[in-house]
């Protein structure tokens, strides 16, 4: 299986809800590092898993939806705790929709919250 990864960084704000997590309950920002990994069994006629430029365009558009925003205020997080786990799943769904035309076998979104913690959401396609 072939794998290809691309990544971006963005800064967004959030505060946790539904529990007592000290300073995490107060609005604060994180420098998130997003890594998208695409997997496929075959390459295209040019020997590529995907067109990286096309994937980077989607990556830029999706990260722009979060850049500088407070996650709690976004419709995707309405009534939900804006954890990095949920952020990874929401971003994964956006990529899955945008890249549905590609013959992918699996897709994973990994998000680092600063340099201390990460989560990953992966599905077989």
The pTM assigned to this predicted structure is 0.95
Per-residue pLDDT tens, the chain, 125 aa: give them.
999 999 999 999 999 999 999 999 999 999 999 999 999 999 999 999 999 999 999 999 999 999 999 999 999 999 999 999 999 999 999 999 999 999 999 999 999 998 889 999 999 99
Distance, CA of 106 to CA of 123 (rounded, Å): 6
Residue 115 has a pLDDT of 87
Kind of pairing between the strands at 106-113 and 117-124? antiparallel
**Which structural domains are found in the chain, ordered by start?**
2-39+52-124 (3.30.479.10)
């Amino acid at each position: 299986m072939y794998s290809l990864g691309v990544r971006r960084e963005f800064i967004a704000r959030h505060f946790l809800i539904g529990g007592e997590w000290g300073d995490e309950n107060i609005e604060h920002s994180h420098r998130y590092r997003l890594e998208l990994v695409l997997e496929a069994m075959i390459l295209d006629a040019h020997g590529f898993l995907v067109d990286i430029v096309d994937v980077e365009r989607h990556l830029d558009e999706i990260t722009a939806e979060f850049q500088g925003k407070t996650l709690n205020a976004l419709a995707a997080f309405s009534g939900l705790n804006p954890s990095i786990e949920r952020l990874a799943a929401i971003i994964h769904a956006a990529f899955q929709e945008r890249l549905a035309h590609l013959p992918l076998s699996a897709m994973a979104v990994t998000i680092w919250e600063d340099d201390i913690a990460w989560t990953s959401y992966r599905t077989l396609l």
